[in-house]
Amino acid sequence: MLKILVRRVYFMNDYLFVSDIHGEDLNLAEKLFKIAEGSELPKIVFFLGDVVGTKLLDQLQKLFYNRVYNHMKALLKNNPNPSDREIIDYPIGDGKTIADGCKELSDFLQNIDPEYRPVGIATYARELVSYVHYGHFCSNLTKTIKEFIKKDMKENAQVWLEVMNAFIEKGVLVVVIEGNWDARTPLDFMPSKKECLPLPIKNRSFYFKELLRSYNNQILYFDAVGTIETENEIFVLWPFDSAINATQIPEFDDNETRKIVLVSHAQIDWEAIKGKTAMTAEGETIQFNMGMTFIDLKADTAVHGHLHDDINIDNYSYHEKNIHYLPLRTYRFINF
């Protein structure tokens, strides 16, 4: 476990957190460049993961989850064997149904590859909900589609490396916690409908850690659990894969008086943000692991992103402790 001690003094008492960029947001990049160029700098900048992505991958994800997958999950939870008509007519909001959602998704993909033609709405909906998650679905798309939606990935990542470097040049510590898209993009799973296995690193379409290391090794990249200690806080960094797999919990002295802050890519509590939206199997694993991690750490608070929902919630309570939530492409100054 990597342990970093920080004793520098900066102009501000706040820490800066940046969440789930997913590749393209030049407006957000410009705002962060201005902060880096200013006279009041944060103590540390934490990127909460999922730096990697493209606009098309993000748009497709919303169509997959919000227009079909989540609604099929909800339908199957209450009705494990729905008829074709029950699937087609199931409401998804805005007066639309799963049939409309399937058409929106297939139209998006046909605009890229005219050869992509699902057969039957109900059959298509059943196929979509059979995938483990969005990445599993993406990895089974046609080669034409996969090549097209990933084409800006490296260029997007380089913009964010330049943002990070702007803070580094001012003497600010920059920390990146590996998200699920940073470890392997949604295109980096075996193209198999029966199982969902990540491709070997050498076969992945893009590996952010490799690019980051070649660009600036002063940027701290956490793909395993680690800590950063300051005078008043102990930050426990929790990358995505550590939220999926059994991971050793750091232990601290019982007399420790500094605040313990869990900084995670993945959520602490799904329902506080998603409400009754059905979880994926992966989501259920994260929910259990991160809940237990927060409790076992005896953390005072936590900061996370991952779920993307642009809702009117910055904080929520978990076991009577305050949790900071940052939705898709947001940044926030926090003083603990």
80-135: pLDDT as tens digits = 999 999 999 999 999 999 999 999 999 999 999 999 999 999 999 999 999 999 99
Radius of gyration of the chain (CA): 21
Please report, rounded to a whole number, the percentage of residues in the chain having pLDDT higher than 90.
82
For the chain, which residues make up each domain, given as ranges?
Answer: 2-53+152-334, 55-149
Q: State residue 2's pLDDT score.
A: 65
Give the domain 2-53+152-334 fold: Purple Acid Phosphatase; chain A, domain 2 (3.60.21)
Share of the chain above pLDDT 70, in %: 95
Q: What is the pLDDT of residue 5?
A: 61
Do the Cβ atoms of 219 and 174 come closer than 8 Å?
yes
Instruction: Look at residue 18 and tell me whether its pLDDT is greater than 90.
Output: yes
Q: What is the mean pLDDT of residues 48-77?
A: 95
Q: How far is residue 240's CA from residue 231's CA, in Å, rounded to a whole number?
A: 27
* Cβ neighbours, 10 Å, residue 284: 12
pTM for the predicted model, two decimal places: 0.90
Task: Match 């030049």 to its residue by tokens.
Answer: 26
Separation between Cα atoms, residue 159 and residue 164, nearest integer Å: 9
Order the strands of the 301-304 sheet from edge to edge.
2-5, 226-229, 233-238, 259-264, 301-304, 321-325, 315-318
Q: Which amino acid is at 125?
A: A
225 neighbors 238 (Cβ within 8 angstroms) = yes
CA distance 195 to 140: 11
Taking a C-beta distance cutoff of 8 angstroms, is the pair 112, 144 a contact?
Answer: yes
pLDDT, position 39? 84
pLDDT at 92: 97
Amino acid identity, residue 174? V
pLDDT of residue 3: 64
**Three-state DSSP class for 317?**
strand
The whole-number pLDDT of residue 103 equals 98
What is residue 12's predicted lDDT score, i.e. its pLDDT? 62
Q: Dmax over Cα atoms in the chain, in whole Å?
A: 64
Cβ contact 15:44 at 8 Å: yes
Average pLDDT in the chain: 92
Question: Is the per-residue pLDDT at 72 higher than 60?
Answer: yes
**Residue 177: pLDDT above 60?**
yes
Helical axes 153-169 vs 26-37, angle rounded to 10°: 10
Residue 260 CB neighbours (<10 A): 20
- Looking at the predicted structure, is the pLDDT value of residue 141 above 60? yes
pLDDT at position 9 is 47
Nearest-angstrom CA–CA distance, 268 and 128:
27
**DSSP state for residue 122 in the 8-state scheme:** H
User: Is pLDDT of 208 > 50?
Assistant: yes
311 pLDDT more than 80: no
Averaged pLDDT, 69-76: 95
Helix H segments across the chain?
A: 26-37, 55-64, 70-78, 84-88, 98-110, 121-129, 134-138, 143-149, 153-169, 180-183, 208-215, 240-244, 271-274, 281-297
What the block records as the tokens of 64 is 């997959």
In sequence order, the β-bridge partners of residue 318 are: 321
Cα of first residue to Cα of last residue in the chain, in angstroms, is 24
Q: Give 302's strand partners.
A: 262, 323
Distance in angstroms (rounded) separating the CA atoms of residues 49 and 51: 6
- Is the pLDDT score of 6 beyond 70? no
> Which residue did the predictor score with more confidence, 163 or 4?
163
